[in-house]
Amino acid sequence: MSTRTKRGPDAGGEIGDSELLDLYRNVSRIRALELLLNRYIEEHGFGGFWHPGLGQEGIQAGAVSALRSDDYLFYAHRGLGYALAKGMSPVTLLADLFGRTPGSVGGKGGGTVHFVDPEIGVMGQGGTVGSSFVLGAGVGISAQMLGTDKVVAIFFGDGSSARGTFHEAALTASVWKLPLVWICENNGWAISVPIAEQSPTENIADRAAAYGVPGVIVDGQDTLAVRAATEEAVARARAGEGPTLIEAKTLRVRGHFEGDKQAYREDLVDGLDVPRDPLKILRERVPAETADRIDEEARAEADAALEEVLAMPTGGEDVVTQGVWV
C-alpha cells in the first residue's frame, strides 16, 4: 500500500454543529491549560518535567474526537490534551502533574506520563517512550480475543518511532489485523535531534507500506483533517481490517520541556506564537461570539482547576510503596 496525503478543503470530512462546538471547546480547553502551565512555570518553576504541547492541540483533540468513549487510548508525553479530550478532568490531570494525592496515580506523578483512567480507556503509559506500541498491541489482542469492537489509539512522536518496539508491534499487529490506530505527531524534533537526522525517509507514514497497512499523511494544524483521517482509520480497525498509520505533520513550538533553552535550534518560534495555529484555523468555522465565550469558559476552568490542585496535599514517603507489585 502507498502513503496517501489528505489535504485541501475536502480533508476535513463532515461534522455536525454540536460536534464542531465540542471539538472547538476541547482544543480551547487544552490551549488554556497549555498557556496556564507556561505562565505558572515561568513564575514559580516546576519540580517535574512539563513537555508543552502548545500548537499540537488540534491533533490531540481531533484524533480523540474520532474515538468512542469505550475505545482505548495510549497517549504520548507532549501535553495532557489526549486525556482531557478523552474525558479526564483538568483537576485530576493537574493533580497528577503536580504530584498531588487526589490525582489518578495517588501522588506518584510529576510529569505527563503518569495519569490513568481505565474506565474511559485512558490506559496510562510505560516508563519509556515507545513502550505504548507493545502495550497498545497487547490491549488490541485482548479486544480482539474478547470479541469486542473496541479500538486502541496509540499516540507517539517522530523520535519514538525509531524504537524497536514500533517495528515488532507493527509487524504482529498488521499480520493479526489488530484494531489499532497509530497516530504520529511529527513535530520535527526528538529532543535536540531534527527529523532529517533521525529518519532515512521524509515521512514516517511511508513505513506503513512495509507492514501492508495504510499510511496517511495529514496536516496536523487542521483539526478537522486529523479527525477525518482518524475516523477512517477507526472504522477500518473496528471492521477487523487492521491498523492504520497516520502521520500528522506539525511543529514543536516550545522546547522539549519547559525550560529547555533550545540552543541547538535554528527554527525557533517567537515565544508563544503558534504558526498556522490550529485553534485559529478551527475558529473560522465557529461564530465569533460563541468562540469567545468558549475560550473564556476554558480559561476559567483551567484557572479554577489549578487553584484547587495547588491546595491539595502531596504524599509522604509512603506514596512510593503504595500500589506497587512487591
Ligand X SMILES: Cc1ncc(C[n+]2csc(CCOP(=O)(O)OP(=O)(O)O)c2C)c(N)n1
| Chain contacts with ligand X (rule: CB under 6 A) | 51, 78, 128-130, 156-160, 187, 189-191, 252, 256
Shortest separation between residue 102's beta carbon and ligand X, angstroms: 26
Q: Residue 40, Cβ neighbours under 10 Å: how many?
A: 17
- Among the listed residues 219, 120, 231, 234, the one whose alpha carbon sits nearest the alpha carbon of residue 180: 234
Sequence-separated (6 or more) residues with CB below 8 Å from residue 291: 24, 28, 283
DSSP state of 178: -
State the binding partner of 201 from Mg ion, ligand X, none, CB within 5 to 8 A by kind.
Answer: none
Shortest separation between residue 160's beta carbon and Mg ion, angstroms: 8
Shortest separation between residue 297's beta carbon and ligand X, angstroms: 28
**Pick 24 or 189: Cβ nearer Mg ion:** 189
Binding flag, residue 247, Mg ion (CB under 5 A): no
**Pick 189 or 257: Cβ nearer Mg ion:** 189
**Looking only at residues 180 through 239 of this chain, which bind Mg ion when binding is defined by CB under 5 A?**
187, 189
**Pick 159 or 242: Cβ nearer Mg ion:** 159
Of 149-157, 164-172, 216-224, 288-296, which segment contacts Mg ion by CB under 5 A?
149-157
State the binding partner of 320 from ligand X, Mg ion, none, CB within 5 to 8 A by kind.
Answer: none
CA distance 90 to 315: 20
| CA dist 225 → 58, 198, 230 (Å) | 9, 26, 9
Are 56 and 220 contacting, i.e. CB atoms less than 8 angstroms apart?
yes
CA distance 64 to 66: 5
CA distance 197 to 150: 36
State the binding partner of 160 from ligand X, Mg ion, none, CB within 5 to 8 A by kind.
Answer: ligand X
State the binding partner of 254 from ligand X, Mg ion, none, CB within 5 to 8 A by kind.
Answer: none
**Pick 82 or 189: Cβ nearer ligand X:** 189
Shortest separation between residue 293's beta carbon and ligand X, angstroms: 31
Q: Which residue is nearest to Mg ion (CB)?
A: 157
How are beta strands 244-249 and 72-74 bridged, if at all?
unpaired
**Pick 65 or 187: Cβ nearer Mg ion:** 187
Shortest separation between residue 111's beta carbon and ligand X, angstroms: 10
**Pick 78 or 150: Cβ nearer Mg ion:** 78
Shortest separation between residue 254's beta carbon and ligand X, angstroms: 11
Q: Residue 160, Cβ neighbours under 10 Å: how many?
A: 22
Helix 57-64 vs helix 223-238: crossing angle, to nearest 10: 40
| The three three-digit cell numbers of residue 268, written as one number | 525557533
Binding flag, residue 158, Mg ion (CB under 5 A): yes
**Pick 159 or 214: Cβ nearer ligand X:** 159
- Among the listed residues 199, 179, 175, the one whose alpha carbon sits nearest the alpha carbon of residue 187: 199
Specify the 3-state DSSP secondary structure of 164.
helix
Amino acid identity, position 22: D
CA atoms within 13 A on the CB side of 132: 26
State the binding partner of 128 from ligand X, Mg ion, none, CB within 5 to 8 A by kind.
Answer: ligand X
Shortest separation between residue 34's beta carbon and ligand X, angstroms: 14
